[in-house]
Amino acid sequence: MTPTLYLCVNRRTGAGSCSSAGAHKVMAALQAEIDARALSWEIRLSPCLGHCAVGPNIKAAPGGPMLHGCSDAQQVMATLLREWRQT
Ligand code: FES
């Protein structure tokens, strides 16, 4: 399975959501981080991951962490490289 980052881009009306927290903006920055490291990771847009108040949220799969507050792509990348053991 290709290492994949499922990035929630859901928008909720009248409530906090990953879209309103900047998910689309972080997607572009995160893709640049992936490209700069020549990683074979994919980013896929995801519906709601169930943690709307603390977005943008990312689930790394297979076997990766669920990350919250992913507004800083460099910080997200550092966390994934430190915590995500891909098999
Ligand atoms: S809107 Fe992203 S987790 Fe619900």
34 CA to middle of ligand 1, Å? 23
Q: How much is the pLDDT for 58?
A: 98
76: left (phi over 0), alpha (psi -120 to 50) or beta: alpha
70 CA to middle of ligand 1, Å? 12
What is the band of 87 on the pLDDT scale with cuts at 50, 70, 90? Answer: low
Question: Quick one: 4-83 is in which CATH superfamily?
Answer: Glutaredoxin (3.40.30.10)
Domain-wise residue ranges, the chain:
4-83
Across 2-9, average pLDDT: 97
Q: What is the pLDDT of residues 9-63, one digit of tens each?
A: 999 988 889 999 999 999 999 999 999 999 999 999 999 999 999 999 999 999 9
Distance separating alpha carbons of residues 29 and 73, to the nearest angstrom:
6
36 CA to middle of ligand 1, Å? 27
Lining residues, ligand 1, CB within 6 Å: 8, 10, 12, 17-18, 48-52, 55, 57
Q: Nearest CA to 85 among 56, 61, 54?
A: 61
Q: Give every strand in the sheet of 58-61, ordered side by side.
A: 42-46, 4-8, 58-61, 66-67
Q: What is the pLDDT of residues 75-85, one digit of tens each?
A: 999 999 999 98
Pocket test for ligand 1, best of 51, 54, 59, 67 (most atoms within 8 A of CB): 51
